[in-house]
Amino acid sequence: MPVAYEWLLALAPWESAAVLRQSLQSLYRQSWPAQRLVVSVDGELPPPLAAVLQDAELPTLVLEAPHWRGTGPTLATGLSACRCDWVLRADADDHSDPRRAEHQLSYLQRHPQVCVLGGQLGEHQGEITRERIRRVPTDPDQVQRLLRWRNPLNHPTVALRRTAVLAAGNYRDAPGFEDWDLWLRLSQQGHELANLAEVLVTARVGPAHLQRRHGWSYARREARFLRRCSKEQLLSRQRMALLLLLRLPWRILPAAWLEALMRGLRSGR
C-alpha cells in the first residue's frame, strides 16, 4: 500500500534551470506519488528557477532565505516544514528511478526499526560517459561499523523518518559533512541505518564535485568536524586522532590522485 511522503530538495540559486527541470520530472513520475515537494532555497530564488517550479506537477512549497546559509541550515529549514513522517531527499541535478519511492517505502514498511534508508548511487559526467556506482554496504551491521570510519550512506538517495531526525537535532551547520554528522547522532540515539542494493538515483558529477572535497580549506573543515564529533562523544578521541591521520593527507594530494583513490573506494574495489 502506498505510503505518504514528501520530497525535500535543497536548491542553490546558481543551479541550471534545464537540469532542475529534468530532475523534477523524475520526481513527478514515481509509481507512488508524493504528497508534496518542499524546496528549500539557499538564498533568494532567481527567476529562471522560479519559472521551473511554477510548472511543478506536485503541490510545492518554496522556502527562500534572505542570504546564503549553507546546506545544513537550508535542509533543516526544509525538513522542519515537511508534514509527512517520511521524507525523501533529492538534489537538483539527480535523476530518481520511477520506482524509487515505492522500493524504499516498501522496505521501510517491512523494517520499522530503520529510520534512514539509502541505496547505491550511480554517477555520470555526461551522456557518453560510462556510469560509475558509488557503492555502500546493505547490511545494517556493516553500515554501523563503517559509520565510525566514513559516511556509509549516499545522501542524495536517502529516505528519512522526519520525527527521528528532528529529535536528534535536525541537520546542522557542518559544511561538507551535514549528512555524516546527522547519521552519527541518529546512531547515538539507537536508530538503525540501512541501504538497498539497487541503484535508484543517478547523479551528475564533474570536476567541481571533486574540487569541493580537495585542498587545505576542505581539510580544515574536516578537522573541525572531527574535533566536534569527539567533543560531543559521537567519536572517541582515539578514533578522531586516527581519522585525522588517515583522512587529511588525502585532501592535499594532487586532484588526479585523489580522484583515483575515491573511485576505488566508492566502487568497492
Q: Map out the domains of the chain with their CATH numbers.
A: 5-205 (3.90.550.10), 207-269 (no CATH)
Assign 253 to helix, strand or coil.
coil
Residue 41 has a CB neighbour count (10 Å cut-off) of: 25
| pLDDT in the model for residue 227 | 97
| pLDDT in the model for residue 128 | 46
Question: Could you state, in chain order, the average pLDDT of each consecutive group of 10 residues for the chain (269 residues)?
Answer: 94 96 97 98 97 96 95 98 98 96 98 97 70 91 96 97 98 96 97 97 72 74 96 96 86 64 54
CA distance 248 to 188: 25
CA distance 73 to 79: 10
| pLDDT in the model for residue 269 | 37
Q: CA 250, 252, 254 angle in degrees (round to 5)?
A: 90
Residue 189 C-alpha from the chain's centroid: 20
Spell out the alpha helix ranges (H) of the chain: 17-28, 47-54, 71-81, 100-110, 140-147, 162-167, 178-188, 207-211, 216-231, 237-251, 255-266
Q: Please give the model's pTM, rounded to 2 decimal places.
A: 0.90
| pLDDT in the model for residue 152 | 97
| pLDDT in the model for residue 132 | 87
How would you class 262 by CB atoms within 10 Å of its CB: exposed for 0-12, middle for 13-18, buried for 19 or more? middle
Identity of the amino acid at 251 = R
Write the CB contacts of 16 (distance below 8 Å, at least 6 apart in sequence): 92, 93
Given a contact cutoff of 8 angstroms between Cβ atoms, the answer to whether 56 and 27 are in contact is: no
